[in-house]
Amino acid sequence: MTHVRIYEVGPRDGLQNEKAVIAVDDKVALIKALVDAGLKDIEVGSFVSPKWVPQMADTDRVMAALDYTNDVNYATLVPNVKGWEGFVQASANLPRNAGEIAVFIAASEGFSKANLNCTVEESLSRLAPVVEAAQSAGVPVRGYVSCITDCPFDGPTPPEAVVRAVEGLRRLAPMPVSLGDTIGAGTPETVTRVIKAVAETMPISDVAGHFHDTGGRALDNVQASLELGVRVFDAAVGGLGGCPYAPGAPGNVATEAVVERVEALGYSTGLDHAALARAGVMARKLRG
């Protein structure tokens, strides 16, 4: 049976937009519940400006409280050199490598300017020293590309713009890349066009799908991606989250729903359904 890997983003992408402060102990308890469900890749926080994303200001404390005796990859988002410095400081005294870092750019200029206050090309230039430093330190890097089918500012995103963004990231390092339908406007048809275009420039084994369920098509987009050979999907337990810089994007596709769909299609995830359901209940209690 073919395995599909679920990359859990709930503790970071899911919680980053919550207004009420969530205690470190609650975040760590959620992460532990996800580990108990069998998830091996969990995004636990980000080193971004606490002024802009206050919910992630305690990522260093979350990292310090995690269990590093298991084989789980705890990932964090690192958008710039200052974020890299925060990651290095937070991981300095941990018993092993703290996991991988994720870097991100947009496929559309409008979203790049709204989210990063720079052009796509400028965002790549900002990331270059981060990726170089991570490679020198032996820290794995994962890339995100936002707005792969539609942008809240520019409208439909041409597949060639996504390809340019992916190629820009992979010029920095041969990293895996997660393709994000940030506002949930993608359809199986538009997602298929993008993945086919991207697959001409990088191995499909390094491609992940990251879908929001705004338009109710996330699971259909997962299925379309599976048919093209994608075997990694980002998801947020309980359907948590949404990007603060993407108007109208209420939440990521729920991990539970992705697991149910891919297993119904004959793939395996290796996850414990009952434990995942318990984590989902916990996640929903954390919502504002």
Per the listing, tokens 């032996």 go with 138
Strand-pair partners of 156? 150
- Let me know: does 145 contact 157? Beta carbons within 8 Å: no
3-state secondary structure the chain: CCECEEEECHHHHHCCCCCCCCCHHHHHHHHHHHHHCCCCEEEEEECCCCCCCHHHCCHHHHHHCCCCCCCCEEEEECCCHHHHHHHHHHHCCCCCCCCCEEEEEECCHHHHHHHHCCCHHHHHHHHHHHHHHHHHHCCCEEEEEECCCEECCCEECCHHHHHHHHHHHHHHCCCCEEEEECCCCCCHHHHHHHHHHHHCCCCHHHEEEEEECCCCCHHHHHHHHHHCCCCEEEEEHHHCCCCCCCCCCCCECEHHHHHHHHHHCCCECCCCHHHHHHHHHHHHHHCC
CB 145 within 8 A of CB 107: yes
Clarify whether 243 is annotated catalytic. yes
Task: List, by residue number, the catalytic residues.
Answer: 243
